[in-house]
A and B are shown apart, each in its own frame.
Chain A
Amino acid sequence: MAKHATPLLDQLESGPWPSFVSDLKQEAASRAKNPNNVEFQVNQDCVEDILGVLELSYKHGRTHWKHGGIVGVFGYGGGVIGRYCDQPEMFPGVAHFHTMRINQPGGKYYTTEFLKKLCDLWEFRGSGVTNMHGSTGDIIFIGTSTPQLEEIFYELTHNFNQDLGGSGSNLRTPSDCVGSSRCEYACYDTQAICYALTQEYQDELHRPAFPYKFKFKFDGCPNCCVASIARSDLSFVGTWKDDIKIDQEAVAGYVGGEFAPNAGAHSGRDWGKFDIQKEVVGLCPTGCMKYEDGKLAINNKECTRCMHCINVMPRALHIGDDRGLSMLAGAKAPILDGAQMGSLLVPFIKAEEPYDEIKEIIEAVWDWWMEEGKNRERLGELIKRQGFQKLLEATNIKPVPQHVQEPRHNPYIFWKEEEVEGGWQRDINEFRKYHQR
C-alpha cells in the first residue's frame, strides 16, 4: 500500500512512453520489500515521499524544495547539490534530498559490472533514484542525506576509482559525442581529449576559482551530437582541411537506389526516388557541388564542411584526412543578457596528444576571464562587454575574416593610440591657429 495517494501522478502511468511514475513506484516497492536485506542508510520509504511531495507540487502547481543548499565533501567546493524539502514533517524521507554528480566515462560507455556496483552503493546509501545522465553529462545520484555524502565519496574513490563531477563557479564536467568509437564522421578522438582535459583540469573542476561556471564539450564533427556549440563556453568541433573523399561507385549506388539516402533515416515516409541533384547538389549551402555524366564533383575550396552531402551519402562521401577541430567560445543560456551560441575563435587546430596548443588557448582564455570577468559573468558575456577583439588579444590569435559572419555596419570604431599618427595628445591652441573660434 502506497504511503501517499497520488491520483494526479497515477495518470502518468498510462501511455506508451516509459513512465517515470511507474519506475519510481517500482523502486518504492522494492525498498519496502527489501529482498536483499540492505541496511538502508537513508529513509527506507524516501521514494514514497518523493512521489508524495511531487503529487503535492502537482496539486499546488509550485515546487516544495527550499531555496539553495550548501553541502559537499571535504577538499572539494562542488559536486553535490544540496536540497531540503519545505514540508519535512509531511515527507520525512526527503527532508534531506541532495544530488550527487558523478563524473561519467567518455561517450557514456559502461559495463554492467560497473553499473551494478554503482547501483548497490546508491541503494545502500541513497534513494536508489538516478538521472542517467544530467545535461552536462554526469551520472546523477538523486537524493541522499548530508551524513552519507562523505561515505559515498569514500566508497566511490577507494573502491570504484571514480570521482565526483563539477558544480559551482568552476569547470563543469566535460562531455563528448561518441566520436571515433562508433562514428565514421569523427575528425578527432573526442573521448581521448575529453578524458585528457578532464584529468588535466581536476583542480579547476573541483575547486571553484572562476567568476562563474565554465563548460567544455567535444563534438567529433559539425553535426554536434553533444551540442557543444550551444552548451559549452568552449566548444570543440571536429573538421578537416583537405578534400572530401568521393567514392564514385558508391555515388552510383545511391543514384541507382542500391543505398538508401541518409542511411535510411527517412524511410518512414515515401519521399520518392533519391534525386542527387535535388537532395544533395541543390541543397549544398555554397553550391560547390556538381553532378555531371554520372560523376559527382566537389569544389572543396568553396566547401564549408557543413556535413550535408556526407550525411546524405555516408557510403560514398567521407571526411578528409587532414583532420583537426575548430574552437568556438561563449555559448550560454539566456540569463543574464541573452542566449548565445559559440563564436568561432580558432578555425583549425590539430587535436593531437598531449594537446599542448589547445591547452595554451584554454589557459589564455581563463587567464583573461578570471582577471576581467565580473562576479557571475559567463565568458560569452565578457566577450560582449569587452569585445571579441580582447578575446583575440588574450589568446594571441590574429583576426581573420572567418571570425565574423559579417563586418560591422556601424562606424564606432576604436583605434589604439599607437596606430594613429601623432597620438591623442593634441593642443587646442595649435588647432586655433588654423581654425578661428
Chain B
Amino acid sequence: MPTVEFGGKSFTVDEDGFIDDYTNWSEEWVQYVKKEEGIDELNEEHKKVVSVLREYYEKNGIAPMVRVLSKVTGFKLKHIYELFPSGPGKGACKMAGLPKPTGCV
C-alpha cells in the first residue's frame, strides 16, 4: 500500500486514499484529506460531521446511514455535499478515518 507524507506525518493509504487504520487518524490526516477532497476552508460544521462519524464508528463499529448522519448533525444531505463535495462516503468518512465504504456502490 502507498504511503503519503503530510505535515510531517506519514500515512499508509489504499488506492482510493482511505487510511489503512482508524487509529492512525490525526489532525494532519484531516488537513491532507481537505486538500484531496477539494475543500477550501475547514469550519466547525466539517469538524462536527467528522466527530459525529468517529463517535458513531467507535460506538457501533460501522459508519452511520446517511439518514442517521443527517439527523444527528442536523445537516441536510445537500448541505453535507456543500461541506464535502464527494459526499458523506468518499468525502466525510475518508476525512474521519473510517474504513472505505463497501458493497454495491
Distance (Å) between the CB of A232 and the closest chain B CB?
15
Residues of B within 8 A of A375 (CB): 62, 65
A320 at the interface (CB under 8 A from B): no
B86 touches A77 (CB 8 A): yes
Determine the chain A residues whose CB is within 8 A of the CB of B66 once the complex forms: 169, 208-210
Nearest A residue (CB) for B37: A74
A422 contacts chain B at the CB level, 8 A cutoff: no
Q: What residues of B have a CB within 8 angstroms of the CB of A66 in the complex?
A: 15
Known: A74-B38, A209-B66. A82 touches B16 (CB 8 A): yes
Q: Are A211 and B87 in contact (CB under 8 A)?
A: no
The answer to whether B90 touches A376 (Cβ under 8 A) is: no
B102 touches A68 (CB 8 A): yes
Check: B59 CB closer than 8 A to any chain A CB.
no
The DSSP consensus for interface residues of chain A is loop
Residue contact A376 to B103, C-beta cutoff 8 Å: yes
> Which residues A47-85 have CB closer than 8 A to chain B?
66-72, 74-78, 81-82, 84
Query: Complex: how many Å from CA A209 to CA B71?
Result: 12
**CB-based contact B16/A211 at 8 Å:** no
A308 at the interface (CB under 8 A from B): no
Residues of B within 8 A of A209 (CB): 66-67, 77
Chain B contact residues: helix, strand, loop or mixed: loop
Once A82-B16, A209-B67, A370-B67 are accepted as A-B contacts, the answer to whether A71 and B102 lie under 8 Å apart by CB is no
Q: Is B29 an interface residue (CB 8 A)?
A: no
Q: A207-B81, A376-B103 are in contact. Are A74 and B89 (CB under 8 A)?
A: no
Q: Mark B85-97, 1 if CB is under 8 A from A, else 0.
A: 1111110001000
**Complex contact A77–B67 (CB within 8 A):** no
Q: Is A342 an interface residue (CB 8 A)?
A: no
Interfacial residues of chain A within 79-105, with CB under 8 A of chain B in the complex: 81-82, 84, 96
By the criterion CB–CB under 8 Å, are A84 and B65 in contact? no
- Chain B residue with minimal CB distance to A172? B104
Given contacts A68-B100, A70-B105, contact A96 B15 (CB under 8 A): yes
Q: Report which of A70, A207, A211, A371 forms a contact with B101, defined as CB distance below 8 A.
A: A70
Set of chain A residues within 8 Å of B16, measured between Cβ atoms: 69-71, 82
Q: Which residues 20-64 of B sit at the A interface, judged by CB distance below 8 A?
A: 38, 62
A168 interface residue, CB < 8 Å from B? yes
With A168-B105, A207-B77, A207-B81 given, is the CB distance from A70 to B90 under 8 Å? yes
Q: Determine the distance from Cα of A84 to Cα of B14 in the docked complex, in whole angstroms.
A: 10
Q: Compute how far the CA of A96 lies from the CA of B66 in the bound complex, rounded to whole angstroms.
A: 28
* Residue numbers in A under 8 Å from B104 (CB-CB): 167-168, 213
Q: How many angstroms between the C-alpha atoms of A168 and B77 in the bound complex?
A: 15
Q: Do B15 and A77 have beta carbons less than 8 Å apart?
A: no
Docked-complex contact B87 and A72, CB < 8 angstroms: yes
User: Does chain A have a CB within 8 A of B18?
Assistant: yes
- Check A74–B85 contact: CB distance below 8 A: yes
CA distance A364 to B54 in the complex (A): 32
- CB neighbours (8 Å) of A82 from chain B are 15-16
Q: Is B77 a contact of A72 with CB atoms below 8 Å?
A: no
* Bound form: Cα–Cα A182–B90 in Å: 42
Which of B78, B101, B104 has the largest count of A CB atoms less than 10 A from its CB? B104
Question: Shortest beta-carbon distance, B99 to chain A, in Å?
Answer: 10
Take A96-B15, A370-B67 as given contacts and tell me if A78 and B86 are in contact as well, using a CB distance cutoff of 8 Å. no
Q: Do the beta carbons of A71 and B90 come within 8 Å of each other?
A: yes
Q: Is the CB–CB distance between B81 and A68 below 8 Å?
A: no
Q: How far is the CB of B29 from chain A (nearest CB, A)?
A: 16
- Residues of A within 8 Å of B94, CB to CB, are 70
A77/B89 contact (C-beta < 8 A), A82-B16, A169-B66 known = yes
Inter-chain contact A167/B65, CB cutoff 8 Å: no
List the A side residues contacting B103 at CB < 8 Å.
Answer: 376
Complex: A203 Cα to B78 Cα, angstroms: 9
User: Can you name the residue of chain B whose Cβ is closest to the Cβ of A335?
Assistant: B104
Instruction: Report Cα–Cα, A241/B59, bound state, in Å.
Output: 55
Name the CB-closest residue of B to A375. B65
Smallest Cβ-Cβ distance to A75: which chain B residue: B85
| CB atoms of A208 and B67 under 8 A apart | no
What residues of chain B have their CB less than 8 Å away from a CB belonging to chain A? 15-16, 18, 38, 62, 65-67, 77-78, 81, 85-90, 94, 100-105
Could you name 13 residue pairs across A and B whose Cβ atoms are closer than 8 Å? A68-B105, A69-B16, A70-B90, A71-B90, A74-B86, A75-B85, A78-B105, A167-B105, A169-B105, A203-B78, A208-B87, A211-B67, A371-B67
Given contact pairs A68-B101, A75-B81, enumerate 13 new A-B contacts (beta carbons under 8 Å): A66-B15, A68-B100, A68-B105, A69-B16, A70-B100, A72-B87, A75-B85, A77-B81, A146-B15, A167-B104, A169-B105, A213-B104, A371-B67
What are the 4 closest A-B residue pairs judged by CB atoms, nearest first?
A: A77-B87, A74-B85, A70-B16, A168-B105
